Amino acid sequence: MKLRGEMFFGLFGRKRDAGAVEALYRRISDASRAPFLYTHFGVPDTLEGRFDSLTLHTVLTMRRLRGLPPPAADVAQDLVDILFREIDRSLREIGIGDLSVPKKMKVFAETFYGRARVFEKALAAADDEALHAALSRPAGEKAGNLADFARHIRHADATMTTYDLAYIMSGAPLFPDAPRS
């Protein structure tokens, strides 16, 4: 079942249900913090490790959204906008001053888009060597179970190709919730 554009767009342009996209972001964020990612796959439980996990899960979702008809591309853009709004909010919450936030946001944006390109290229590659490198980059020597992690991510990516926009926006699980053996 596909969502029709009217469900997201009002009569006068790009007015979408921001609450639905925010709920999608929360599901992606929650999935990126699943304990097994840190315990089973060795994603470091650090600011960088959590950011990389969030980036990876966002990239997986955006890959699927880009493969769907309108308004999916607009939902993908809204998703990125919410991600950066939440990063900005988090920086302010931890006490980063108003004058420093734009500089920090620039670093986060460069990091996000750089890592997103690496993850996207690795997911598009036929072999897992690039995916192993992409998954180990932030963790370095601490990365554990890269082959299992790559298999898990490939499974998530393949599963997402079966989702239409209605499913993605429905609140249903987007990612496998346990490691595949």
- What's the pLDDT tens digit per position in 89-148? 999 999 988 899 999 999 999 999 999 999 999 999 988 889 988 988 755 555 567 888
Other CB atoms within 10 A of residue 72 CB: 22
Closest-CA residue to 58 (of 75, 42, 41, 70): 75
Judge whether 146 and 136 are in contact, CB under 8 Å.
yes
115 burial level (CB within 10 Å; 0-12, 13-18, 19+): buried
pLDDT at 181: 52
98 burial level (CB within 10 Å; 0-12, 13-18, 19+): exposed
